[in-house]
Structure 1
Amino acid sequence: MTLKKFVLSSVLLAAGLLLHQISPNFIFGMKPDFLLLMMFVCLTFVEDYKFVFVIGVISGILTALTTTFPGGQIPNFIDKIITSQFVYIFMKIFNIKLDKSKGVIITTFLGTLVSGTVFLLLALIMVGLPASFAALYPTVILATCINSVGMVFTLKMLNRAIKYAH
């Protein structure tokens, strides 16, 4: 892992944190997780498994600090670690890189779905939910769609930036 990739990951996670902080709530304190989106982008150029774990932990801490879901700090932290592992393994199995847009978008869709489901299940077990699981799950689907569309725009911007950086 090069210093350039560390710096890029830091900038992407900071941008995701900012977007996560300013995005509006939808239902019962849930909102789209743009930090998760940036975590996925970081995972597309990671080769070292230790760095995947670090990205998951940092994303979990940052999301826990900015969550508006009642009692969502610990579920957010654990969810990001689990999701980073899932996404990394999925990308390695299917050899998905940043330049393979369809693969990254599919990974974003599945990763967000896993993240939302794990978060809701952990919140249900640990702190309880402000509404039923069935009532909250459509927000997971909505966040999945928002993140997938957001990834389309993010990939366009990143690929253009990479093109001009060389």
Structure 2
Amino acid sequence: MNLRKNILTALLLAIGFILHGIMPGIAAGMKFDLMLAMMVVAILINCELKNTLLTGVLGGFMTAMTTTFPGGQIANVIDKIVTCIAVYLMVKLIGKYKEKQISVAVIGFLATIVSGSVFLISALVIVGLPASFKTLFLTIVLPTSFTNIFVIILIYNCVNTAIRISGSKFVSR
């Protein structure tokens, strides 16, 4: 990994950390996960296995520090690592089509579904859920999935535009 790629990933994670920290808990301590949007964009821009694993671990620990879910620290780390690997596999599967808006939207939606499901299952096993799985999935995970479609597309396009305007050649296309 080169320094520019690492800096871009670090910037996206820092922005995600701030957004995750200021986002209030909505239902049973769960919140919309804007850190996940930043992580997906980081992987779309820099889809290398090392970057993916590092993004998952760092993103997991950062969201664990700002979680409002009772006992959700370990579940956050598990969910971010699993989700990053799933996003990496999705990006590798679609290959050259990863830059299409529809591909970005589908990856963002599926990543949020995976993340929310893994988080809820992990939390259920580790500490239990303050509400039913179905309630939390329908009130937080699904709305966040649809919201993240637009957030991820917006951020992805902004980052790509900034890279193009700056003349950076570090992103492999």
- Bin of the TM-score, shorter chain as denominator length: over 0.9
Tell me, yes or no, if structure 1 residue 150 matches structure 2 residue 151.
yes
Offset of 1:97 from its aligned partner? 6.5
- CA distance in 2: counterparts of 1:96 and 1:30, whole angstroms: 35
Offset of 1:52 from its aligned partner? 1.3
Residue in 2 aligned with 1:46? 46
Residues 27, 96 of structure 1: CA spacing in aligned structure 2 closer, same or farther, 3 A cutoff? farther
Give a deviation string over 1:8-30, Cα, whole Å, max 9, x none.
Answer: 00001000111111122221111
The runs of 5 or more residues in structure 2 that have no matched partner are 168-173
Q: Normalization by structure 2: what TM-score?
A: 0.90
- CA distance in 1: counterparts of 2:128 and 2:96, whole angstroms: 36
- CA distance in 2: counterparts of 1:96 and 1:85, whole angstroms: 18
CA contact (8 A) 1:13 1:35 kept: yes
Residue in 2 aligned with 1:140? 141
Residues 113, 16 of structure 1: CA spacing in aligned structure 2 closer, same or farther, 3 A cutoff? same
Residues 51, 157 of structure 1: CA spacing in aligned structure 2 closer, same or farther, 3 A cutoff? closer
CA contact (8 A) 1:96 1:104 kept: no
CA contact (8 A) 1:96 1:103 kept: no
Q: Normalization by structure 1: what TM-score?
A: 0.94
Residue in 2 aligned with 1:159? 160
Give the secondary structure class of the aligned counterpart of 2:130: coil
Q: Which amino acid aligns with 1:150?
A: V
- CA distance in 2: counterparts of 1:10 and 1:58, whole angstroms: 9
Residue in 1 aligned with 2:69? 69
- CA distance in 1: counterparts of 2:55 and 2:165, whole angstroms: 26
Give the secondary structure class of the aligned counterpart of 1:94: helix
- CA distance in 2: counterparts of 1:25 and 1:61, whole angstroms: 18
- CA distance in 1: counterparts of 2:67 and 2:146, whole angstroms: 20
Give a deviation string over 1:96-139, Cα, whole Å, max 9, x none.
Answer: 57632221111010010000001001111110000111111111
After TM superposition, the structure 1 stretch with the greater mean CA deviation from structure 2, 97-106 or 25-34, is 97-106
Residues 40, 46 of structure 1: CA spacing in aligned structure 2 closer, same or farther, 3 A cutoff? same
Residue in 2 aligned with 1:59? 59
Q: Which amino acid aligns with 2:35?
A: L
Runs of 4+ in 1 over 2 A off after TM superposition: 45-48, 96-101
Q: Which amino acid aligns with 1:57?
A: V
- CA distance in 2: counterparts of 1:145 and 1:25, whole angstroms: 18
Number of corresponding residues: 166
Residues 16, 97 of structure 1: CA spacing in aligned structure 2 closer, same or farther, 3 A cutoff? farther
Identity of aligned residues (%): 42
CA contact (8 A) 2:67 2:73 kept: yes
1:111-122 equivalent positions in 2, closer than 5 A: 111-122=111-122
